[in-house]
Amino acid sequence: MNGILAIFRREMKSYFVSPIAYIVIGFFLLITGYFFANILSILIERSIMAQMQAQRMGGPPDMDVPGLVIRNFVGVIATVLLFLIPMLTMGVYSEERKRGTMEMLMTSPLTELQIVLGKFLASLSLFGLMLAPTLIYHVTISFFSEPALPWRIIGSGYLGVFLLGVTLIAIGSFISSLTESQIIAGVVTFVLFLLLWVLDFGVRGASSTTGEIFKYLSILQHYESFAQGIIDTSSIVFYVSATVLGLFLTLRTIESMRWRRA
């Protein structure tokens, strides 16, 4: 446990010594704030139009603005993560290999598992620091929301975002462990995430066995139920399994470095 904490502290310090953490967090909050304001503005305008139409027709308006804002917003977050997580993970191992500091870690008393878990928890903590401020948006509009904010949908939506982010971090870390170049790691990770994103749209409506398999493997397909306020245990199992697989492959890559040195 001490070894994991040592790596964790080292990684967190390196994040905030370099500008990468500030750039990623700042850009994430800027773009999500922009989309949140636009989504809210558009849906309020539509709600007003629906109320006016309902008054003319003599019926009650039927538009859940708070729920629609949350569903659309967490969908935006999921999409933004596909572009930002590669920036977060591209230097986790590749920069260590380039500078030769990975050799120092290999000769230290730390085990490969401690190195992998320490780095993973640091990336996960940075992701949490990046995601947490977006809750302020919902808290702010909760004072003016009518009907009340559906906190159940907020909770399930953010659970889905968190699980998606954890999975992407594990995959990105594995790719970073394969190369000494941050640029290559970032580009390959981005291309892979983009393929997974396109895969989600390509298999929608597919009824064949192959289509169902690709549909199950789509990381965004599993996310959609969370955005609707439904906590699907099969999707949780999928994300946890994909995360464990990413960490396992990373561990095998790190272990292979020690074998080559021997």
Cα dist from 151 to 70, 87, 256, whole Å? 9, 31, 46
pLDDT tens-place string over residues 37-66: 888 888 777 777 766 766 666 555 556 667
pLDDT at position 124: 92
Look at residue 170 and tell me whether its pLDDT is greater than 90.
yes
In the 8-state DSSP scheme, what is residue 176?
H
Task: Work out the widest C-alpha separation in the chain, in whole angstroms.
Answer: 81
Residues in contact with 36: Cβ distance below 8 Å, sequence separation at least 6, in sequence order? 69, 73, 76, 134, 137
Domain segments of the chain: what residues? 2-261
In the structure, what pLDDT confidence band is assigned to residue 108 with cuts at 50, 70 and 90?
A: confident
Q: How many CB atoms lie within 10 A of CB 19?
A: 10
pLDDT at position 260: 60
Q: In angstroms, rounded to a whole number, what is the distance separating the alpha carbons of residues 77 and 131?
A: 9
In the structure, what pLDDT confidence band is assigned to residue 106 with cuts at 50, 70 and 90?
A: confident
Instruction: List, as one string, the DSSP characters of 105-131.
Output: HHHSS--HHHHHHHHHHHHHHHHHHHH
pLDDT at position 58: 57
Q: In angstroms, rounded to a whole number, what is the distance separating the alpha carbons of residues 254 and 248?
A: 10
Across 145-171, average pLDDT: 82
Q: In angstroms, rounded to a whole number, what is the distance separating the alpha carbons of residues 172 and 129?
A: 18
SS3 labels along the chain: CHHHHHHHHHHHHHHHHCCHHHHHHHHHHHHHHHHHHHHHHHHHHHHHHHHHHHHHHCCCCCCCHHHHHHHHHHHHHHHHHHHHHHHHHCCCCHHHHHHCHHHHHHHCCCCHHHHHHHHHHHHHHHHHHHHHHHHHHHHHHHCCCCCCCCHHHHHHHHHHHHHHHHHHHHHHHHHHCCCCCHHHHHHHHHHHHHHHHHHHHHCCCCCCHHHHHHHHHCHHHHHHHHHCCCCCHHHHHHHHHHHHHHHHHHHHHHHHHHHHHC
pLDDT tens-place string over residues 188-242: 998 888 887 776 665 555 556 666 666 677 777 777 778 777 888 888 898 999 9
pLDDT at position 121: 93
Q: Quote the pTM value.
A: 0.86
Q: Environment class of residue 179 by beta-carbon count within 10 Å: exposed (0-12), middle (13-18) or buried (19+)?
A: middle
Look at residue 31 and tell me whether its pLDDT is greater than 70.
yes
Across the chain, mean pLDDT equals 81
Across 253-259, average pLDDT: 77
Residues in contact with 243: Cβ distance below 8 Å, sequence separation at least 6, in sequence order? 166, 167, 170
Q: In angstroms, rounded to a whole number, what is the distance separating the alpha carbons of residues 153 and 149?
A: 9
pLDDT at position 209: 67
